[in-house]
Amino acid sequence: MVQRISRAFKDISLSFDRHPVTNDILVLKNADAIKKSVRNIVQTIPSERFFNPIFGTASLLENQILIAIENYEPRVDNVQVDVDPRADQNAFEITISFNIVGQEVPPQQFSFILEATR
């Protein structure tokens, strides 16, 4: 198998700031370009990308929470997860609703804020 080695990466800065000398749009290089790209992927909200409306952290996070609950908590069903991005706080408000299997209790619901740890 041939391993592909990239030598350099360049992306334009999405802030569209200009270089003070050349007046060109700033360029991000190598690790900075990759970090910014990953950050943009993680911070994309659903429907923000016109041709890929399900792309975005909130929808991925919602799916991962549903999968985790289905895999590890068999005592609940009718699970609903609502993920509300809070971009100004760099966080998500998560609301989870479910029924407890075999119990005569009303549907359960709780909310919490999921924040970045770094």
Length of the chain: 118
Instruction: Indicate if 114 and 57 belong to the same structural domain.
Output: yes
On the question of pLDDT at 81 being above 70, the answer is yes
Distance in angstroms (rounded) separating the CA atoms of residues 34 and 116: 19
pLDDT band at 82 (very low <50, low <70, confident <90, very high): very high
**Contact between 92 and 114 (Cβ < 8 Å):** yes
What's the whole-model pTM score?
0.55
Instruction: Indicate if 36 and 58 belong to the same structural domain.
Output: no
User: Which structural domain range is residue 100 located in?
Assistant: 51-118
Please state the rounded mean pLDDT for residues 87-107: 85
- What sign for the dihedral angle of Cα 54, 117, 87, 28? negative
Instruction: Indicate if 100 and 73 belong to the same structural domain.
Output: yes
Buried b (16+ CB within 10 A) or exposed e, 62-80: beebeeebeeeeeebeeee
